[in-house]
Amino acid sequence: MSFSLTTWNINSVRLRIDQVIRFLGEHEPDVLCLQETKCPNDQFPLAAFRALGYQYVALNGQKGYHGVATLSRIPFAETMIRQFCDKEDSRHLTVELAGTGASNGRKGLRIHNFYVPAGGDIPDPEVNPRFAHKLAFLDELMLWNEQTLPAERPSILVGDLNVAPYETDVWSHKALLNVVSHTPVETERLERFRQVSQYVDAVRTLQPEPEKVYTWWSYRSPDWAAANKGRRLDHIWIAPSLTPALAATKITRETRGWERPSDHAPVTVTLQI
């Protein structure tokens, strides 16, 4: 059976609901994980998703900022939200898919949806509290990992991790070394977390370095497609037990060219389970 999942930082789900619906109609992933929904839960545009068969919805939204949502054609056995850094912000949501575990003695498939703090402008935690928050969030992810033991159950970790970890994840490694999202203190933390948790970077498995791979292009670039000064900030990591099932990954760059787009492109993984 084929299973596909898309992660997309939509930068306001209400403003871009028509684009989300268009994407779902064209690509039909089984599960969609959104970040930066910027939408309180009671204002989430549920009807549009239900009409396309995404009946199962888990929300962690707040007003104005951040916000994650997971929409699915497969029922959930469980949903979980964890707070990070003792803040009330909406940056995490885990769902466990029903029918993927207990009946045959296995642990169910969990999907972890994250929106890691952006980190502000100055890459110095001493003078920039946002960067300090980002580093603390990445440190806390390591502790979270020890409780969830992703190597021991089928799981997928996705989201806007706001870090471009490898040299060919940015348009210029040299130019961005001191730019938030690609500084060594961030990239080393993220890579350490991934390695300790034993997650496999699905996109880089199928598009290994040194190929340049991006998922985000700044709004400020006047000709984003020609300049192509992107970064790979959005990620899909799969548990080691799922790697034999990894069939395809796709970054749908064309949505960045739609009218009034998100600055992030959707990233999709397909597994043959």
Name the residue nearer to DNA (CB basis): 64 or 244.
64
Query: Which stretch in 102-110, 200-208, 212-220, 237-245 sits in contact with DNA by CB under 7 A?
Result: 212-220
Q: Say how many C-beta atoms besides its own lie within 10 A of residue 127's C-beta.
A: 10
The Cα–Cα gap between 268 and 27 comes to 9
12 binds DNA (CB under 7 A): yes
Phi, psi values for residue 212, rounded to 5°: -75, 130
Q: Which of residues 34-53 bind DNA (CB under 7 A)?
A: 36, 38
Name the residue nearer to DNA (CB basis): 65 or 142.
65
213 binds DNA (CB under 7 A): no
Query: Which stretch in 5-13, 106-114, 185-193, 199-207 sits in contact with DNA by CB under 7 A?
Result: 5-13
Work out which of 18, 28, 78, 121 binds DNA, going by CB under 7 A.
121
118 binds DNA (CB under 7 A): yes
Work out which of 194, 231, 235, 256 binds DNA, going by CB under 7 A.
231
Q: How far is the CB of 45 from DNA (least distance, A)?
A: 11
- The site for DNA (CB under 7 A) is made up of 9, 11-12, 14-15, 36, 38, 63-66, 117-121, 130, 160, 162, 175-176, 179-181, 216, 218-222, 229, 231, 233, 260, 263-264
